[in-house]
């Protein structure tokens, strides 16, 4: 089962700095049933590349870090 604190730590260390540099951020909403629910904020929230950021950045990294990870849901 995914641990919320560990997911938040990965987001804080590996994802958030890049997003903040681009004027955005990511909010962890919930970790439930090995799925991670997030929301992109700021410039990233309405960026045309948001789907790419989520799929090829956030989701890929979470799959590498957590074998039990089953999916990323953007709210």
Each residue of 9-36: pLDDT tens digit? 999 999 999 999 999 999 999 999 999 9
pLDDT value at position 24?
96
The domain in which residue 60 lies consists of 4-74
Q: What is the pLDDT of residue 46?
A: 87
Render pLDDT for 34-53 as a digit per residue (tens, 0 to 9). Answer: 999 999 999 999 889 999 99
Which tokens belong to 9?
Answer: 């730590």
Contact 24, 43 (CB under 8 A): yes
Cross-strand partners of 54: none
Q: Torsion over CA of 53, 57, 58 and 61, rounded to 10 degrees? A: 180
Relative to beta strand 35-42, strand 24-32 is antiparallel
List the CATH number of the domain containing 25. 3.30.300.130
CA distances from 75 to 26, 36, 37 (A): 11, 10, 7
Domain count within the chain? 1
**Residue 7 confidence (pLDDT):** 98
pLDDT at 75 over 90: yes
């Amino acid at each position: 089962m995914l641990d919320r604190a560990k997911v938040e730590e990965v987001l804080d260390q590996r994802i958030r700095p890049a997003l903040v540099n681009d004027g955005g951020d990511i909010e962890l909403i919930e970790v439930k049933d090995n799925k991670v629910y997030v929301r992109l904020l700021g410039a990233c929230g309405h960026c045309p590349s948001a789907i790419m950021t989520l799929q090829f950045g956030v989701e890929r990294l979470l799959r590498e870090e957590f074998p039990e990870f089953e999916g990323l849901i953007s709210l």
